[in-house]
Amino acid sequence: MIHNVGVSNAFGQLSNEGFYFLYRGILPPLCQKTITLSLMFGIYEECRRPLMAMQVPPLLAKSSAAIIAGSVEVIIMPLERVQTLLQDQRYNRSFKNTHHAFRVIASSYGIAEFYRGLVPILIRNGGANVCFFVARDELMALSPANSSWWGKTTHQFVSGAVIGAVTSTIFYPLNVVKVHIQSKLGGEYQSLLSAFVEIVRER
């Protein structure tokens, strides 16, 4: 995604870099996933319930709560930003590990550098959350009322997998744009539109 290479070329690049670099940048996504899921579900429910109590239409209440939850998730955006830089081979010698990357970026570029690529992340988080929560509730409503525990669990697993796959596919281009923007360190901040146009022209 960063260097616009195919799968075979990517494997070749990883082989040349060595096993260590295969797991370079693994700490940020590990921390990020744990915190993101907690924020997403917790904030969604805390926002949805009062909206429903105020007689807001269910679809609007769910969508608003999902967008709010996705917007709050950007507080952990620095983890995603550092992950992108650690996985870019151009910075293999610039950063030793996650802690070193945070220290160098904060001291040399400022806190704002951690939020490069904010707009595509906001759109991705909000949109993906709306699709996930609305589709999940609709599919849950189709679940047989008298289904067994195993049947309900299987239905939830399959529906979650399908929703996740569809949502990821829809919003994947935003991830490409986000990575393109975040792979740059320092200099002028690039807008979502200009990054999109640049990617289309180059690739």
pLDDT score, position 77? 93
Same-domain pairing of 95 and 164: no
Same-domain pairing of 35 and 85: yes
Same-domain pairing of 132 and 168: yes
Number of domains in the chain: 2
44-79 per-position pLDDT tens digit: 999 999 999 999 999 999 999 999 999 999 999 999
Last residue of a domain, one of 81, 115, 149: 115
Residue stretches of the chain with pLDDT short of 70: 18-20, 145-147
Same-domain pairing of 111 and 177: no
- Give me the amino acid identity at 29: P
Q: Give the pTM.
A: 0.83
Last residue of a domain, one of 115, 137, 154: 115
Last residue of a domain, one of 57, 85, 115: 115
Q: Which domain holds residue 111?
A: 17-115
